[in-house]
Amino acid sequence: MLSLDSSSIASAALTRNGEVLAEFATQDTRSHAEALAPAVYNLLGQADVEPSQLKAILVGTGPGPFTGLRAGLVSGRTFGFAWNLPVYGLCSLDALAHRAAQGTTERTEFLVATDARRKELYWGRYEVHEDGHGRFAVSVDGPQVTAPEGLPKLPVYGSGAGLYADQLPQTVADSTDWQPTAADLSRAAWALQERGTGLSTDTSPLYLRESDAKVPVQRKKALR
Amino acid sequence: MATAEPLVLGIESSCDETGVGLVRGTELLTNTVSSSMDEHVRFGGVIPEIASRAHLEAFVPTLQAALDDAGVTLDEIDAIAVTSGPGLAGALMVGVAAAKALAVATGKPLYAINHLVAHVSVGLLDDNDELPSNLGALLVSGGHTEILSVPDITGDVRLLGATIDDAAGEAYDKVARLLGLGYPGGPAIDKAAQDGDPNAFRFPRGLTAGKYMGSAEKPGSHRYDMSFSGLKTAVARVVETYEASGQPVPVADVAASFQESVVDVISRKTVLACTENSIDTLLMGGGVAANSRLRALVTERCNARGIEVIVPSLSLCTDNGAMVAALGARLAAEGRAATGIVFTADPGLPVSTVSMGAA
């Protein structure tokens, strides 16, 4: 499976049953359109994988800053079209939640948060479950976008926690540089698949905000 | 890979039209466009975020429709071309990301090309294997108002003049709103103006004063440039004056007089630029090229100076993927180096950059 996520940094991964064969991630959050296609080209070469061996495309559907998010989604959909592969979508915060769940205990509830800019956070609330396959995170609320004060009083994982540590009740120190990555996204997807849950083919972006444009009000008539 | 008649897929997403075109050499196979214009009507202008969202949803369906319409498969294509600028940053990014993914998926060379030059390359379609020598172009749309000189469409394109503020189409949209005529403003004003007196009001002609024009030998600072923001304000003052005095606004006369000012300036500057730069064939492009009065006056004034005017069909004047494919096909046929997949969309790409160089 080829996975892409551009909700924060831009990343790509080739995986088999949740096991990462090769991965790529940018350092910054502003170079998605530039970075993704060359990254996929290089990953296929590195892992010595032919496009004909791919079975599916997975894209992180956000939430994330719009322009970058769209670059990943249109890339994923186009790869799916050109290679005639199914394209699945998964909330990008699930990638962070899956990573966080590995270091916690069952029934723990926690939040993951990423930068939504404009002094707000994208966040989701998850609960840890455990079974014969190991630990996994189940979404119980979100994704949402609010100011940091609006988050429930639970430990917060992810880069969003690092940005507003002073305004959040509990941040998990080791996680404050975590971003959603394609590798974690594909692990989260595999956690669903190995438990018999099919992936969604809905790749609609989770914008969570409308465009800022306002319908112009009727122009005031000049008065006599 | 200089093939005489390369099959090229062109992608356009610089504003509110998602276009995919297919061209073989100079033969147009399909020109498939999905427009988000209806979603912008209530705002009275293109909202970049709404246009960008629409591009994402429209891209794959438009690509599919274009391939079906032309009856070709991705395997058969020789190269891909995409508009990399100028245009709206967020909108360009969708087409560029899609084009790169398509290039990686198919292994085909990718050309990142200039939107304005692509407009001119429409002149190559329909088996016009060669463009006329001494070619110029007048591009007028909601986002552009430019006069170009095109000695060599793949290697030498020069900007002679341009608007220094609003594009002409943008001025039409704003004045149409002032007059309550709806969006898009171009066709609305053109229609209203049919019943009006173009000399009812003497609206300003921007950048036509002597200090801006200078002479052919000593050109002023804006000899071939245009400005429409002052005109827009002048129209607003007239409308306000009627409203304040409680009289109905003479909509047809205002529309006709406004249109006459826009068209007068554009056609005068265009003729001047052509005659002083040895241009004897002028190609018109952009959505406002459909405007009946602009076509009429540009043609009349150009013909009077021996300049031939070419106006492509409306579907090739407005933004589309076929024009991108046409330019891509010419670049590929000449064996010009492709851009590759490592480049960035450039919202301010200068017209002198016909296709971006490889990184």
Q: Looking at residue B3, what is its pLDDT?
A: 67
**Residue A97 contacts residue A137 (beta carbons within 8 Å):** yes
Q: Looking at residue B72, what is its pLDDT?
A: 98
- B142 assigned ligand-binding residue: yes
Residues 6+ apart with CB under 8 A from B197: B252, B253, B256, B257
Q: What is the pLDDT of residues A109-168, one digit of tens each?
A: 999 999 999 999 999 999 999 999 999 999 999 999 999 999 999 999 999 999 999 999
- DSSP code, position A150: G
- Tell me which residue in B103, B246, B345 faces A33 most closely, judged by beta carbons: B345
Q: Looking at residue B1, what is its pLDDT?
A: 47
**Residue B227 contacts residue B206 (beta carbons within 8 Å):** yes
Q: What is the pLDDT of residues A21-34, one digit of tens each?
A: 999 999 888 777 78
Bond into B204 cis (ω within 30): no
* Pairwise CA distance, residues A156 & A125, whole Å: 9
Is the confidence at residue B327, as pLDDT, over 50? yes
Q: Which two tokens stand for residue A144?
A: 């949402």
| Residue of chain B whose alpha carbon sits nearest to that of A45 | B104
Which of A186-190, B28-32, B355-359 has the weakest average pLDDT?
Answer: B355-359
Write phi, then psi, for B69 (nearest 5 degrees).
-60, -40
Chain-wide mean pLDDT for chain A? 93
B308-310: strand order across its sheet? B156-162, B145-152, B135-140, B281-285, B308-310
**Residue B111 contacts residue B332 (beta carbons within 8 Å):** yes
Neighbours of A90 (CB within 10 A): 24
**Residue B249 contacts residue B243 (beta carbons within 8 Å):** yes
- B190 assigned ligand-binding residue: yes
Residues of B in contact with A75 (CB under 8 A): 97-98, 100-101
Which of A45-54, A70-79, A98-107, A121-130 has the weakest average pLDDT?
Answer: A98-107
| 3-state SS assignment for residue A110 | strand
CATH topology of domain A2-91+180-193: Nucleotidyltransferase; domain 5 (3.30.420)
Min Cα distance B31 → chain A (Å) is 19
Pick from A206, A205, A203: nearest CA to A85: A203
Is the confidence at residue A1, as pLDDT, over 70? yes
Query: For chain A, where do the domains classified as CATH 3.30.420.40 start and end?
Result: 2-91+180-193, 93-175
Q: What is the pLDDT of residues A168-182, one digit of tens each?
A: 989 998 999 999 999
Q: What percent of chain B has pLDDT over 90?
A: 93
Strands B281-285 and B308-310, bridge-based pairing: parallel
Stretch B174-181: mean pLDDT: 94
Query: What is chain A's Cα-based Rg?
Result: 19
Residues of A in contact with B55 (CB under 8 A): 70, 74
Q: Which two tokens stand for residue B289?
A: 């090229």
Which of A204-213, B9-18, B90-99 has the weakest average pLDDT?
Answer: A204-213
- Best residue of A40, A53, A66, A75 to probe chain B, by most B CBs closer than 10 Å: A75
- B265 assigned ligand-binding residue: no
- Tell me which residue in A33, A212, A221 faces B96 most closely, judged by beta carbons: A33
One-letter identity of residue A148: P
Q: Which domains does chain B have, with CATH numbers?
A: 7-125+316-333 (3.30.420.40), 135-311 (3.30.420.40)
Min Cα distance B46 → chain A (Å) is 10
Inter-chain touch B89–A67, beta carbons under 8 Å: yes
Q: Looking at residue A223, what is its pLDDT?
A: 57
* Pairwise CA distance, residues A109 & A140, whole Å: 9
Q: Is A75 on the interface with B (CB under 8 A)?
A: yes
One-letter identity of residue B219: P
Stretch A177-189: mean pLDDT: 97
Pick from B18, B1, B22: nearest CA to B10: B22
Q: Which two tokens stand for residue B106?
A: 């198919």
> Predicted confidence band at B244 (pLDDT cuts at 50, 70, 90)?
very high
Write phi, then psi, for A129 (nearest 5 degrees).
-120, 160
Q: Looking at residue B2, what is its pLDDT?
A: 55
| Residue of chain B whose alpha carbon sits nearest to that of A202 | B57
Is the confidence at residue A18, as pLDDT, over 70? yes
Q: What percent of chain B has pLDDT over 70?
A: 99
Inter-chain touch B74–A207, beta carbons under 8 Å: no
Task: Indicate the CATH number of A93-175 among 3.40.50.12500, 3.40.50.2300, 3.10.20.30, 3.30.420.40.
Answer: 3.30.420.40
Which of A28-32, B141-145, B273-277 has the weakest average pLDDT?
Answer: A28-32
Which of B57-61, B122-126, B328-332, B343-347 has the weakest average pLDDT?
Answer: B122-126
Residue linked to tokens 């996975």: A3
> Predicted confidence band at B114 (pLDDT cuts at 50, 70, 90)?
very high
Q: Is A86 on the interface with B (CB under 8 A)?
A: no
Is the confidence at residue A49, as pLDDT, over 50? yes
Query: What is chain B's Cα-based Rg?
Result: 21
Neighbours of A212 (CB within 10 A): 8
Inter-chain touch B97–A71, beta carbons under 8 Å: yes
Residues of A in contact with B245 (CB under 8 A): 224
Q: Looking at residue A28, what is its pLDDT?
A: 83
Residue linked to tokens 């064969």: A21
Strands B110-114 and B79-85, bridge-based pairing: parallel
- In this prediction the pTM is 0.95
